[in-house]
Amino acid sequence: MTKTKAYSGRCHCGAVVDEVQADLAQVTSCNCSIFRKKGHLLSFVLAEAFVLRSGEDSLQDHRFNKKVIHHLFCRTCGIQSFARGTAPNGASTVALNLRRLDEADLDSITPVPFNGRDT
C-alpha cells in the first residue's frame, strides 16, 4: 500500500517552485555519472502527480547520454529540481530531486541503490 503525501519543493533562489504527491518509501540512489556527482536522492512519480507552480522560464534543459531525459535546473542558482522522461511502459514521469523538497525527512529514508552507471 502506498502512502502518498503532498510535498512542496523549490530551488535555492526560489525561482522554481512545485508541488508533488509522492510516496517517499520508494527512493533511488543512482550511481550514474550525473546523479553520483550531484548526490541526488530520486523518487519517480507520474507526470500528473507533479505541478510546476512557478519558474518554467527559469528552467534550463540538460540532456546527456541517450538524450531522452530532460534534466531541468534553475538557470539562476543551478539547482536541478526535477527531470522529465518516459517510463518503460510509455507513461510520462517526473524524477524528483528529494533534497529540495521542503517537508521531506531525509534522515528517515533508506534509498534503494540503482546501477545506472552500467545501464
Domains and CATH numbers, the chain: 5-114 (2.170.150.70)
Grid cell in block for residue 64: 546527456
Binned at pLDDT 50, 70 and 90, residue 19 comes out as very high
Closest CA to 4 of 17, 16, 15, 19: 19
Helix H or strand E encompassing 38: helix 33-38
Whether the Cβ atoms of residue 42 and residue 98 lie closer than 8 Å to each other: yes
pLDDT at residue number 104: 86
pTM of this prediction?
A: 0.83
Binned at pLDDT 50, 70 and 90, residue 111 comes out as confident
Helix H or strand E encompassing 52: strand 50-54
